[in-house]
């Protein structure tokens, strides 16, 4: 906050606007117990503050490792609590962004420190803070340079949160790019044997994505007259279809490097398989989702004509990505890479939902950001833990692990089921919504994606059987089950998937009275409905009033068998 | 059970059986209350009630998915079938599954499967049905694969996840097309709008119908997706019996609820569905003759019978008959699997050439098997109708005869003839399985026989669908003749002249193995291998080459900075001109 005030103070003619207060509480049982101002800034800068404290903390011979770990953990737990406050207080029927904060930063360029959250952002913040907490728990095994590790992890967390909350495109790109360096340093410093190569590739792809994002940003800025970088200005600007198409293409490239989508998926395999578990969970759970969030926020919300023109391309990329990830997972011999390939699939499903450009497919895509992140984080987390506990990554060596590590066996099965989207898991609902919406507008892409999902199911079935079941190999090293911290962090992810999967509309008494949770899909639809409104087709004209005639009785219940059926009368 | 820590085998078995019996008691009360009524009972709670849009067609502005219960006479029949199968398998498992390493997991998953089957049967909309459908699929896979340490069992069980995935996705695609055209997912709201929704024509209806049927066919094990049923012979028998029986009920429930949609699509799609059923009714029992695994033969015979029952669904005014027959088929399939499992356990082999003399050594198991195959043959005859065209008469006759042949091949091979001595196996030490393994088979037979008899009761059929029915007992007698031909053929080939039967089986096995091998070769060479090779190339070399190319380009671009100024400056100036021109072209106001 002081930094923001300082930055304001050095600019000519600053305009300090107080943030809008948190919304008026609604009458929901156990809702809205707290009011918090500057909520979004707190979510962004609290981990930065904690990172600075950790960086400044002396740690002779690792004596304060535990303190540092606990500081990082409680910072993330506090963020999760604050995100829960925001989620709890979200106004579901508010047409505008909530928890807004606006400080003019560079007025002559039109840059503002503008933050805001709609339903989609609020849900992402909630899941992001959960992922952050989980990533700290997953980092319990870090023993070397603990101070540096958690400093970088918290900075990464802050950058992702900032990108989620940003309502100014310049600020968004700043936060987007700011996350690359901590992630690359974490990967290079604490990763596996091929960590340097993985970090370089991660940084290279990230740089390409950032460059593409900058091109889109500057093009739109110039096309709107260079007045402002605010996303509201973009949403209301009348850009030509050509400009929208070029900007949209650049945004797709930027998102494709992050989600990822074929052919920009090269960094994922190495990054997720070489990263320490905590970093892998953070990247898969929320870092990769940032690409999709950017597409939703900038392309779909702002460039409507461009979205329509690029929808077939997105659909094709989505289908190819899912199929490619399944095939690549099938021929792979490394359990961690198997998890990395599984983590690609939710990104493809998200892109498919965007390509549909219908209300329900966009809601499915938005929900897919949440569920895909949780499922991907679970997949990479459990495979990383199995590789550590079984002391081998090779699928040729791993076999018959289930009796020796029953908890991890169940978790791997659940991870596979979460990625393919079975009932009970939150990913099932997002997948159903996506397919319900996409078949209307992009049937070819939907069929291709369906084929990819079928291949993914086969891959999961075969790999799970290969790793977990059967007789263990005599030459395999000893295996042990998950530790308490590992069980907790993986269990939290499973619990979130099950909670959102079984109660997506929130717990209700008697189907009517809402308890403390409004339901994540209801919170998401607050944002997705507005996003989808430009794409809703007009209602068909009312049919002419027919002349009075006796109305036929219709069988309203399937209990009555149908009338004479045009069967081939065998 | 898992949550409260019930662990011991007896405790979980009792808890499961108790739960099922309590549910059966509740079901009996509901049936008693609903039986005299003609209107169904329905209750539903909103699970999802979402606002999707503020404008546009009204049916797409909201999405409501409910957790509902729709009880009518047909659904009572389906639920009763589910409960009966659940109870039978639970009782059988008390002795038959006592060697299972994790009883809590086994019984928990079985309970989940029964729950999902009941949920699918009483569902009120497509979303709820698909949710329970998926839950049943997952619990089927977990149940079949639950013998973690047994490599053969788990290797076989992975087919139960991979193969039906195509069918499940086809069902989802069909539901998606219906939603995208009509905007409704409730069954009772879908029927009135099928033919009067603007923008939704016969093409969409046809595609949706075929996809929905594909989903049902896959889970029913119809050709060519029978592998997930016939290929899981190594998995626990209780799990197989539950899966085969319950999925038959779930599938007929889906098709019954979607029948108005299927027939509204027109004659051609319905004909295609009928042909698919007919192909499986003839082909899959024929496949059962290729091979010597008793469990696989039982599965093939059961699939053939299921296909016949589904075929009856597409005949005019035969819905009640098809529902009754399908429930009976489900019971028979479960009973057949359990009976076969008892004999396999007792004789310690599943190879029909190594089985025999079961009638003398394992009388009650053999009797159970005999009753099951008799019920199978009888049911096959019962679903054939009258007033058929000649080609359909031929199809029915072949299907009934082949089903009876496959089933009775199993019986004659296992129950009669000589039980050969094998290495490590003494025929004199074969003992009858416990009564709790035989009683469920008899239970299934009794219920199936009752339902088979009810097929000839106009009153029963009228009770199911509220329409008048005419019974054609002579047609059934004619079809019994076809079944008798199959029985006689089985007796000749596998009892009186077993060498001939063995030779024919060998030829059929070789032929089928050849077809499978050719299919695997072609599929591998032209589909799987190229796709996987492409992914390999992309991952291992393509990506690296692309990244190297980009890196080289950047390096060359950096090399430009080392160029002398007299070359660099004009180059930069030219580049600036090009960029300025592009910006000018794309600036607002030039193209509007």
Chain A CB contacts of B48 below 8 Å: 429, 504-505, 521
Helix (H) or strand (E) holding A297: none
Cα dist from B415 to A256, A292, A353, A388, B502, whole Å: 64, 64, 58, 53, 16
Flag whether the ipTM exceeds 0.90: no
Give the contacts of B516 (CB within 8 A, at least 6 positions apart).
none
Q: The dihedral of CA B313, B317, B323, B325: what is its sign?
A: negative
Percent of chain A with pLDDT over 70: 86
Chain B CB contacts of A562 below 8 Å: 259-260, 263, 319
Mutate to test the interface with B, among A338, A355, A509, A568 (most CBs of B within 10 A): A568
Looking at the predicted structure, is the pLDDT value of residue B39 above 90? Answer: no
Per-residue model confidence (pLDDT) at position B57? 81
DSSP single-letter state for residue B192: G
CB contact under 8 A, B148 and A561: no
Q: How far apart are the CA of B275 and the nearest CA of chain A, in angstroms? A: 10
Chain A CB contacts of B7 below 8 Å: none
Measured CA to CA, the distance from residue B270 to residue A570 in angstroms comes to: 11
Strand ranges in B27-117 using DSSP code E only, listed in sequence order = 41-51, 62-71
Spacing of C-alpha B220 from chain mean position = 3
Percent of chain A with pLDDT over 90: 54
CB contact under 8 A, B130 and A432: yes
Per-residue model confidence (pLDDT) at position A8? 40
Domain boundaries, chain A: 39-502
Identity of the residue in A458, A537, A568 whose CB atom sits nearest the CB atom of B274? A568
Phi, psi angle pair for B362, to nearest 5°: -135, 70
- Highest mean pLDDT of the ranges A156-170, A474-488, B178-192, B305-319: A156-170
Query: Where would I find the H helices in A259-303?
Result: 266-274, 277-282, 289-294, 301-302
Question: By the 8 A CB rule, do A208 and A176 touch?
Answer: no
Interface residue B32 vs chain A (CB under 8 A): no
Chain A residue closest in CA terms to B44:
A511
Quick one: tokens of A419?
A: 């990625």
Looking at the predicted structure, is the pLDDT value of residue A143 above 80? Answer: yes
Measured CA to CA, the distance from residue B106 to residue B119 in angstroms comes to: 20
Phi, psi angle pair for B125, to nearest 5°: -145, 170
Measured CA to CA, the distance from residue A71 to residue A54 in angstroms comes to: 8
* pLDDT band (50, 70, 90) for residue B4: low
Looking at the predicted structure, is the pLDDT value of residue B249 above 90? Answer: yes
Measured CA to CA, the distance from residue B440 to residue B87 in angstroms comes to: 8
* pLDDT band (50, 70, 90) for residue A36: low
CB contact under 8 A, A330 and B55: no
CB contact under 8 A, B546 and A533: no
Chain A residue closest in CA terms to B181:
A440
Measured CA to CA, the distance from residue B366 to residue A209 in angstroms comes to: 70
Looking at the predicted structure, is the pLDDT value of residue A215 above 70? Answer: yes
DSSP single-letter state for residue B36: T
Nearest residue to A437 (alpha-carbon basis) of A537, A506, A369: A537
Per-residue model confidence (pLDDT) at position A4? 43
Measured CA to CA, the distance from residue A487 to residue A385 in angstroms comes to: 10
Measured CA to CA, the distance from residue A356 to residue B182 in angstroms comes to: 17
Per-residue model confidence (pLDDT) at position A369? 94
Angle, nearest 10°, between helix axes B9-34 and B73-96?
A: 160
* pLDDT band (50, 70, 90) for residue A561: very low
CB contact under 8 A, A555 and B260: yes
Per-residue model confidence (pLDDT) at position A511? 64
- Find the radius of gyration of the CA atoms of chain B: 29
Looking at the predicted structure, is the pLDDT value of residue A554 above 50? Answer: no
Measured CA to CA, the distance from residue B443 to residue B88 in angstroms comes to: 7
Identity of the residue in B158, B270, B591 whose CB atom sits nearest the CB atom of A465? B158
Looking at the predicted structure, is the pLDDT value of residue B316 above 80? Answer: no
Identity of the residue in B52, B157, B395 whose CB atom sits nearest the CB atom of A359? B52
Looking at the predicted structure, is the pLDDT value of residue A22 above 70? Answer: no
Residue by residue, DSSP assigns A14-29 as --EEPPPPPPPP-S-T
Query: Where would I find the H helices in A442-536?
Result: 443-468, 484-502, 520-532
Per-residue model confidence (pLDDT) at position B145? 85
Identity of the residue in A402, A540, A570 whose CB atom sits nearest the CB atom of B148? A402
**What is the mean pLDDT of the segment spanning A131-142?**
93
Helix (H) or strand (E) holding B245: helix B237-264
Phi, psi angle pair for B301, to nearest 5°: -60, -40
Chain A CB contacts of B236 below 8 Å: none
Strand ranges in B429-518 using DSSP code E only, listed in sequence order = none
Quick one: tokens of A29?
A: 């049982």
The larger pLDDT score, comparing residue A234 to residue A242, is at A242
**What is the mean pLDDT of the segment spanning B488-504?**
81
Interfacial B residues in 55-74 facing A (CB < 8 Å): 55-58, 60-61, 63, 70, 72-74
CB contact under 8 A, A560 and B466: yes
The arrangement of strands across the sheet holding A111-117 comes to A16-17, A98-106, A111-117
pLDDT digits (tens, 9 = 90+) for A464-521: 888 888 777 877 778 888 888 899 999 999 999 999 999 888 887 766 677 777 788 8
**What is the mean pLDDT of the segment spanning B133-144?**
92
Cα dist from A362 to A372, A437, B388, whole Å: 14, 8, 50
Question: By the 8 A CB rule, do B161 and B243 touch?
Answer: no
Question: By the 8 A CB rule, do A504 and B48 touch?
Answer: yes
The larger pLDDT score, comparing residue A277 to residue A547, is at A277
Question: By the 8 A CB rule, do A342 and A265 touch?
Answer: no
Measured CA to CA, the distance from residue A76 to residue B63 in angstroms comes to: 35
Residue by residue, DSSP assigns B272-317 as HHHHHHHHHHHHHHHHHTSS-BHHHHHHHHHHHHHHHHHHHHTSTT
Question: By the 8 A CB rule, do A288 and A376 touch?
Answer: yes
Measure the CA angle with vertex A258, ends A256 and A264; round to 5°: 45
Per-residue model confidence (pLDDT) at position B329? 92
Chain A residue closest in CA terms to B269:
A567
DSSP single-letter state for residue B538: I
Identity of the residue in A222, A457, A504 whose CB atom sits nearest the CB atom of B583? A222
Question: By the 8 A CB rule, do A567 and B278 touch?
Answer: no
């Amino acid at each position: 906050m002081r930094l923001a005030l300082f930055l304001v103070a050095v600019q000519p003619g600053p305009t300090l606007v107080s943030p809008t207060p948190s919304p008026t509480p609604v009458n929901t049982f156990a809702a809205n117990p707290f009011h918090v101002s500057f909520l979004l800034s707190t979510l962004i800068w609290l981990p930065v503050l904690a990172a600075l404290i950790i960086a400044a903390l002396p740690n002779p011979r690792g004596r304060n490792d535990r303190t540092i770990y606990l500081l990082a953990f409680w910072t993330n737990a506090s963020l999760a609590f604050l995100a829960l406050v925001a989620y709890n207080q979200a106004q579901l029927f508010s047409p505008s962004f909530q928890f807004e904060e606006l400080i003019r930063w560079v007025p002559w360029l039109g840059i503002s420190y503008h933050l805001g959250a709609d339903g989609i952002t609020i849900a992402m913040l909630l899941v992001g803070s959960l992922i952050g907490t989980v990533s700290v728990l997953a980092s319990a095994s870090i023993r070397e340079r603990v101070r540096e590790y958690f400093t970088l992890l918290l900075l990464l967390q802050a950058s992702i949160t900032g990108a989620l909350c940003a309502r100014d495109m310049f600020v968004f790109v700043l936060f987007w790019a700011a996350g690359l360096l901590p992630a690359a340093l974490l990967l290079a410093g604490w990763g596996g044997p091929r960590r340097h190569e993985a970090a370089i590739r991660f940084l290279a792809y990230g740089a390409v994505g950032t460059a593409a994002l900058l091109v889109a940003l500057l093009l739109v800025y110039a096309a709107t007259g260079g007045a402002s970088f605010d996303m509201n200005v973009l949403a209301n600007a009348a850009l030509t279809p050509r400009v929208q198409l070029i900007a949209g293409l650049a945004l797709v490239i930027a998102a494709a490097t992050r989600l990822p989508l074929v052919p920009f998926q090269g960094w994922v395999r190495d990054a997720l398989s070489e990263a320490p578990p905590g970093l892998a969970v953070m990247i898969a759970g929320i870092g990769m989702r940032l690409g999709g969030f950017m597409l939703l926020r900038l392309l779909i919300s702002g460039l409507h004509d461009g979205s329509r023109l690029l929808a077939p391309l997105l659909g094709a990329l989505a289908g190819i990505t899912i199929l490619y990830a399944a095939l690549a997972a099938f021929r792979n011999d490394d359990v961690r890479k198997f998890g990395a390939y599984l983590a690609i699939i939710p990104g493809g499903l998200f892109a498919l939902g965007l390509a549909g450009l219908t209300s329900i497919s966009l809601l499915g895509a938005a929900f897919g950001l949440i569920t895909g992140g949780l499922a991907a984080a679970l997949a990479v987390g459990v495979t990383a833990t199995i590789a550590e506990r079984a002391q081998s990554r090779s699928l040729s060596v791993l076999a018959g692990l289930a009796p020796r590590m029953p908890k991890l066996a169940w978790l791997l099965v659940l991870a596979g089921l979460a990625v393919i989207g079975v009932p009970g898991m939150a990913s099932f609902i997002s997948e159903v919504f996506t397919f319900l919406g996409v078949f209307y507008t992009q049937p070819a892409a939907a069929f291709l994606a369906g084929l990819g999902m079928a291949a993914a199911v086969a891959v999961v079935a075969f790999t799970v059987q290969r790793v977990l079941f059967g007789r263990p190999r005599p030459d395999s090293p000893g295996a042990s089950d998950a530790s308490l911290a590992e069980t907790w962090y993986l269990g939290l992810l499973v619990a979130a998937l099950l909670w959102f999967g079984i109660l997506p509309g929130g717990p209700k008494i008697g189907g009517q009275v809402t308890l403390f949770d409004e339901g994540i899909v209801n919170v998401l639809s607050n944002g997705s409905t507005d996003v989808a409104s430009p794409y809703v087709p007009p209602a068909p004209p009312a049919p002419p009033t027919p002349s009075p005639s006796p109305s036929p009785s219709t069988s309203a219940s399937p209990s009555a068998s149908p009338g004479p059926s045009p069967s081939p009368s065998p | 059970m898992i949550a409260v820590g019930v662990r011991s085998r007896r405790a979980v078995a009792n808890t499961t059986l108790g739960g099922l019996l309590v549910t059966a008691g509740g079901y009996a009360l509901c049936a008693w209350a609903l039986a005299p009524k003609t209107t169904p009972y329905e209750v539903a709670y909103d699970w999802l009630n979402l606002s999707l849009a503020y404008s546009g067609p009204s049916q797409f502005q909201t999405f409501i998915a409910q957790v509902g219960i729709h009880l009518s006479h047909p659904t009572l029949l389906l639920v009763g079938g589910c409960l009966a199968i659940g109870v039978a398998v639970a009782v059988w498992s008390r002795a038959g599954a006592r060697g299972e390493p994790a009883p809590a997991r086994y019984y928990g998953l079985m309970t989940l499967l029964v729950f999902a089957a009941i949920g699918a049967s009483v569902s009120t909309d497509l979303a709820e049905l698909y949710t329970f459908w998926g839950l049943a699929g997952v619990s089927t896979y977990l149940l079949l694969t639950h013998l973690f340490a047994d490599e053969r069992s788990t290797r076989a069980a992975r087919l139960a996840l991979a193969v039906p995935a195509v069918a499940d996705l086809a069902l989802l695609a069909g539901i998606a097309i219906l939603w995208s055209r009509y905007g409704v997912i409730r069954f009772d709201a879908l029927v009135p709008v099928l033919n009067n929704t603007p923008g939704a024509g016969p093409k969409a209806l046809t595609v949706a119908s075929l996809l929905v049927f594909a989903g049902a066919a896959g889970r029913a094990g119809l050709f060519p997706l029978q592998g997930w049923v016939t290929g899981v012979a190594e998995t626990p028998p209780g799990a197989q019996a539950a899966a085969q029986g319950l999925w038959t009920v779930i599938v007929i429930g889906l098709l019954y609820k979607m029948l108005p949609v299927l027939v509204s699509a027109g004659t051609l799609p319905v004909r295609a569905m009928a042909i698919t059923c007919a192909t499986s009714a003839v082909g899959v029992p024929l496949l059962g003759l290729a091979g010597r695994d008793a469990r696989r033969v039982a599965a093939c015979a059961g699939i053939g019978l299921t296909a016949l029952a589904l075929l009856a669904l597409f005949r005019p005014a035969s819905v009640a008959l098809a529902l009754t027959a399908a429930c009976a088929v489900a019971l028979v399939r479960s009973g057949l699997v359990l009976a076969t499992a008892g004999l396999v356990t007792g004789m310690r082999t599943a190879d029909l050439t190594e089985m025999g003399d079961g009638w003398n050594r394992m009388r009650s198991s053999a009797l159970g098997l005999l009753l099951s195959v008799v019920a199978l043959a009888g049911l096959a005859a019962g679903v054939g109708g009258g007033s058929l065209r000649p080609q359909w008469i031929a199809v029915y006759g072949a299907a009934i005869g082949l089903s009876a042949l496959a089933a009775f091949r199993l019986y004659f091979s296992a129950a009669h003839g000589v039980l050969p001595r094998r290495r490590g196996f003494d025929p004199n030490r074969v003992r009858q399985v416990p009564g709790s393994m035989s009683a469920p088979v008899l239970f299934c037979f009794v219920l199936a026989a009752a339902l088979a008899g009810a097929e000839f009761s106009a009153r029963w059929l009228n009770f199911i669908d509220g329409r008048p029915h005419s019974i054609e007992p002579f047609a059934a007698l004619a079809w019994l003749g076809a079944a008798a031909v199959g029985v006689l053929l089985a007796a000749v080939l596998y009892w009186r002249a077993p060498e001939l039967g063995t030779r024919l089986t060998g030829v059929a096995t070789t032929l089928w193995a050849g077809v499978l091998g050719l299919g695997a070769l072609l599929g591998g060479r032209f589909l799987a291998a190229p796709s996987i090779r492409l992914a390999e190339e992309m991952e291992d070399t393509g990506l690296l080459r692309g990244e190297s190319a980009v890196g080289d380009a950047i390096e060359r671009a950096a090399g430009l900075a080392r160029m002398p100024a007299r070359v660099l400056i004009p180059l930069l100036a030219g580049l600036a001109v090009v960029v300025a021109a592009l910006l000018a072209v794309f600036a607002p106001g030039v193209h509007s």
